[in-house]
């Protein structure tokens, strides 16, 4: 292992990002499976917890390891298997499946479809949400983002095939906008197992589909095992049907022939292609090369600090456990989003945009599926399209953002709280669901992110943006990147714009007062991309819409200012026939019901708002930046008085409130309680559980300092 000068922990982020880029180059794109992602996650923790060496020979050695590893993978690459899949819907205006599939295969699939969905019982074409009145496949094999770097005349090419659950086969087509069916359709998208211990198999795909593979010549001597029905190609492109469970040896004559798995009936198909020994050794060698190369370049380039690995490892493991319990498909599978849901829209449009980009239609990609942004968060569709380039048919990009959230919470807590309290905040946020009652908790963000909604991304970008903006040095780059992250948050969900305006306005005035011109310039330039949404709407739609046009939709803006004016008029005239006063009064408990959406939590949340107002208006003993954070939270609370009180719209509001309240309790509240109730306080402090928690936090703080 090379020794020498190392970059301090405060070294430029670029060095560590460059080291991470080497690890990604070794693993290769797309990073679309749990094993590769886990390896990169471990490498990331080691790199960002350690000290990166600055010596040129260390970087040259690391680069050499990467080059040798990439070359070794190319030389020992196992043969790739052409794989094609698609939804099966007979007929349609394109007739793509009938033209593109072998006649024997299409005929059998159509017969099985008629058995499962008898024509006499099908939904009406004219009915909204019926599959027969919606979209049909326009090609025999669906587009797959896994095929960007390894092309195929089918959907993609893979190095192995082994699945028993289509969610883990990563069938991206299931979230195409073409198949946005409602509950009125006889062909359904999916079913959910709500038992808490079924996280790994939470979702069951109910769409009819098929799987086709082309057998490579190198697989002669191996075997294909299956559950369900498969059709095996023979001489003259004729297909024989094999029903039930079984295995069949692959012979030299099978080279280039196709095998089709039939999955018209839900949960009926599983396939495992077992390679012969030479291919299996190549697969094993490739895995070992990647593992050894990542480990080797880290040893050469990074000075590892074992004690520093404990805290990030704890946060990541706890986060993964929470996600796995709720919906493990977020950890590398592709779940079918619900029909009519935000997740289906964002991912469906993103997949269309990605195909336009790959076809060279950059203008179509920038259009983003709409001339004028209407639906929720304009930015998420672009993020999802880029995610599919790096992470293929998976949602591991969004997962990365969610796994970073506890670190952002910890960093923000350390800015305002003593060390042990900051650790307590981060660990409670992830592992203890107290945020279900007051504030927010990690499960809120992971649950809605796994559903493909834009809200968690917006709030994570916003929280991340606060960290560099709180930098006291007044430099350009922290201000630039902080403002840019806030702009990204608005692009994901414009509802956070009031909080961003208040915080950036306060930070800008402070920079102007101190004549910190670099910080002021960074704030302005970093926030400038927020106007790209208005520019998009003007260029493509020829209208001036600042963010998205559904901001004034009556189902979202349930209490506009005109409704409050009407409520005051009713109060003044004692004419309550319009119902506006009742709506205005009802909006207050709906707002204060918080993330729990329960009236039982109204007193607790109301107390939190009172503390928030006190800190902002009267709390001169508090950090001025905390008061500015509180002012941003109050701006978001004002939003809740006008917009629908759906909990996910206001996670950021209650998170910022929780942060301010916790600082208040640590600096004032707990001291007052000890003075007011000394006996009870002493008993609580001396309780064995309290002492064990305090000792554990102290040890964790010590090793992570």
What DSSP designation does 211 have? E
Strand, coil or helix: 191: strand
Average pLDDT taken over every residue of the chain: 92
Any residues with CB less than 8 A from the CB of 172 and at least 6 apart, and which? 142, 143, 144, 145, 146, 334, 351, 388, 393
**DSSP helix, strand, coil percent of the chain (3-state; round to 5):** 60, 10, 30
- Rounded to 5°, angle at Cα 287 from 282 and 292: 120
Place of tokens 């900051």: 422
Q: How far apart (Å, rounded) are the C-alpha atoms in residues 691 and 485? A: 39
Where does the pLDDT of residue 314 fall: very low under 50, low under 70, confident under 90, or very high at 90 and above? very high
pLDDT at 134: 78
How sure is the predictor about 165, in pLDDT bands with cuts at 50, 70 and 90?
very high
pLDDT band at 380 (very low <50, low <70, confident <90, very high): very high
Alpha-carbon span 464 to 482, nearest angstrom: 7
Task: Count Cβ atoms below 10 Å from residue 608 Cβ, excluding itself.
Answer: 23
CA distance 180 to 197: 28
Domains of the chain by residue range:
1-78+279-304, 81-274, 342-395+452-550, 551-699
Contact status, residue 372 vs residue 538, Cβ threshold 8 Å: no
Q: What are phi and psi of 628, to 5 degrees?
A: -70, -40
pLDDT above 70 covers a percentage of the chain that reads 98
Alpha helix (H) ranges present in 359-472?
362-367, 380-391, 396-416, 419-431, 442-450, 455-469
Top-confidence range, 553-557, 579-583, 597-601, 627-631: 627-631
pLDDT (0 to 100) of residue 1: 39
Q: What are the CA-CA distances from residue 606 to residues 409, 428, 462, 590, 613 (Å)? A: 23, 22, 24, 12, 11
CB 19 within 8 A of CB 301: yes
What's residue 5's pLDDT?
Answer: 55
pLDDT level of residue 617 (50, 70, 90 thresholds):
very high
DSSP symbols for 461-491: HHHHHHHHHT-TT--HHHHHHHHHHHHHHHH
**pLDDT higher at 398 or 419:** 398
| pTM: predicted TM-score of the whole model, two decimal places | 0.94
State the Cα–Cα distance between residues 487 and 584, nearest whole angstrom. 31
Q: Is 332 exposed, middle or buried (0-12, 13-18, 19+ CB in 10 A)?
A: buried
Q: Which pLDDT score, from 0 to 100, does residue 692 have?
A: 81
Cα–Cα distance for residue pair 181/338, rounded to 1 Å: 9
pLDDT value for 2: 43
Nearest to 663 by CA among 414, 411, 406: 414
> Are the CB atoms for 107 and 187 separated by under 8 Å?
no
**What are the CB-based long-range contacts (under 8 Å, 24+) for 555-560?**
555/644, 556/643, 556/644, 557/642, 557/643, 557/644, 558/583, 558/587, 558/642, 558/643, 558/644, 559/583, 559/584, 559/587, 559/641, 559/642, 559/643, 560/642
Which helix (H) or strand (E) segment holds residue 158: the answer is: strand 156-158
pLDDT at 115 over 50: yes
Flag the least confident range among 26-40, 87-101, 276-290, 398-412. 87-101
CA–CA separation, 188 vs 165, rounded Å?
A: 17
Q: Encoding tokens for residue 337?
A: 């989003």
Q: Which residues contact 533 (CB under 8 A, 6 or more apart)?
A: 373, 378, 379, 491, 494, 545, 546, 547, 548
Say how far residue 551 (Cα) sits from the centre of its chain. 24
Q: Residues near 50 by Cβ (< 8 Å), separated by ≥ 6?
A: 302, 303, 304, 305, 308
The angle at the Cα of 98, spanning 94 to 103, to the nearest 5 degrees, equals 165
Distance between CA atoms of 632 and 588, rounded to whole angstroms? 19
**CA 298 and chain centroid, separation:** 27
* Peptide bond connecting 285 to the previous residue in cis, omega within 30 degrees of 0: no
pLDDT average, residue stretch 444-454: 96
End-to-end CA separation in angstroms for the chain: 26
- 30 preceded by a cis bond (ω within 30 of 0): yes
Question: Cα angle vertex 384, ends 382, 386, to 5°?
Answer: 70
Percent of the chain with pLDDT over 90: 74
Mean pLDDT computed over 601-621: 94
The whole-number pLDDT of residue 705 equals 67
- Which pLDDT does position 699 carry in this prediction? 77
Q: Give the confidence band of 197 by pLDDT, cuts at 50, 70, 90.
A: confident
Residue 4 has pLDDT above 70, yes or no: no
Instruction: Please report which confidence band the pLDDT of residue 14 belongs to, taking 50, 70 and 90 as the band edges.
Output: confident
How many secondary structure helices (H) and strands (E) does the chain include?
Answer: 26, 14
Average pLDDT estimate for 356-379: 93
């Amino acid at each position: 292992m090379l020794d020498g000068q190392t970059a301090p922990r405060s070294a430029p982020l670029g060095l560590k990002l460059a080291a991470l880029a080497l690890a990604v180059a070794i693993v290769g794109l797309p990073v679309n499976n749990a094993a590769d992602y886990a390896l990169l996650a471990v490498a990331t923790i080691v790199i960002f917890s350690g000290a990166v060496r600055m010596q040129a020979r260390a970087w040259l050695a690391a680069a050499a390891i990467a080059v040798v590893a990439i070359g070794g993978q190319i030389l020992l690459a196992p043969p790739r298997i052409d794989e094609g899949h698609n939804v099966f819907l007979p007929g349609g205006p394109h007739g793509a499946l009938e033209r593109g599939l072998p006649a024997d295969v299409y005929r059998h699939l159509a017969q099985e479809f008629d058995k499962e969905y008898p024509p006499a019982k099908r939904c009406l074409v004219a009915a909204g949400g019926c599959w027969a009145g919606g979209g049909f496949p326009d090609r025999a094999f669906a587009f797959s983002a896994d095929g960007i770097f390894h092309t195929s005349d089918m959907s993609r090419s893979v190095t192995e095939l082994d699945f028993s659950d289509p969610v883990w086969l990563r069938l991206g087509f299931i979230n195409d906008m073409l198949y946005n069916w409602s509950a009125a359709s006889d062909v359904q998208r999916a079913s959910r197992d709500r038992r808490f211990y079924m996280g790994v198999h939470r979702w069951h795909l109910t769409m009819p589909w098929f799987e086709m593979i082309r057998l490579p010549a190198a697989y002669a001597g191996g075997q294909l095992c299956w559950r369900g029905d498969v059709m095996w190609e023979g001489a003259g492109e004729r297909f024989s049907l094999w029903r039930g469970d079984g295995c069949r040896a692959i012979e030299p004559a099978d080279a280039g022939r196709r095998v089709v798995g039939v999955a018209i009936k839900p949960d009926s198909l599983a396939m495992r292609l077992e390679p012969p020994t030479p291919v299996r050794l190549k697969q094993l060698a490739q895995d070992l090369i990647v593992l050894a190369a990542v480990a080797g370049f880290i040893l050469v380039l990074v000075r590892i600090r074992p004690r520093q690995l404990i805290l990030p490892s704890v946060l990541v493991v706890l986060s993964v456990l929470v996600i796995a319990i709720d919906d493990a498909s977020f950890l590398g599978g592709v779940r079918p989003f619900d029909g009519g849901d935000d997740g289906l829209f964002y991912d469906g449009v993103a997949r269309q945009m990605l195909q336009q980009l790959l076809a060279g239609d950059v203008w179509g990609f920038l259009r983003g599926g709409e001339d004028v942004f209407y639906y929720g968060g304009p930015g998420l569709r672009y993020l999802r399209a880029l995610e599919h380039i790096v992470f293929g048919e998976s949602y591991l990009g969004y997962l990365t953002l969610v796994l970073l959230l506890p670190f952002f919470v910890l960093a923000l807590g350390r800015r305002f709280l003593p060390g042990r309290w900051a650790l307590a905040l981060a660990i409670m946020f992830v592992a203890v669901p107290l945020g279900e009652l007051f504030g927010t908790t990690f499960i809120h963000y992971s649950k809605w992110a796994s559903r493909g909604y834009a809200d968690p991304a917006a709030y994570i970008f916003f929280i991340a943006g606060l960290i560099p903006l709180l930098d006291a040095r007044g430099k350009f780059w922290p201000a630039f990147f902080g403002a840019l992250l806030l702009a990204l948050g608005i692009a994901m969900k414009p509802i956070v714009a009031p909080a961003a305006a208040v915080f950036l306005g306060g930070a800008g005035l402070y920079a102007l007062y101190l004549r910190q011109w670099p910080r002021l310039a960074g704030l302005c330039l970093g926030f400038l991309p927020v106007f790209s949404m208005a520019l998009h709407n003007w260029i493509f739609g020829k209208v001036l819409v600042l963010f998205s046009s559904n901001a004034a939709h009556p189902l979202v803006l349930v209490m506009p200012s005109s409704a409050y004016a009407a409520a005051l008029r009713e109060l003044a005239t004692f004419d309550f026939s319009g119902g506006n006063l009742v709506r205005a009064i009802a909006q207050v408990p709906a707002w204060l019901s918080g993330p729990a959406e329960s009236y039982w939590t109204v007193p607790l949340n109301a107390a939190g708002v009172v503390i928030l107002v006190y800190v902002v208006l009267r709390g001169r003993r508090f950090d001025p930046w905390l008061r500015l954070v509180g002012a941003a939270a109050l701006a978001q609370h004002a939003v809740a008085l006008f917009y629908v009180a759906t909990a996910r719209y206001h996670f950021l509001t209650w998170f910022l409130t929780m942060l301010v309240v916790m600082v208040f309790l640590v600096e004032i509240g707990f001291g007052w309680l000890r003075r007011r109730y000394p006996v009870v306080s002493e008993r609580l402090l001396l309780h064995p559980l309290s002492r064990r928690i305090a000792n554990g936090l102290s040890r964790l703080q010590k090793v992570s300092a």
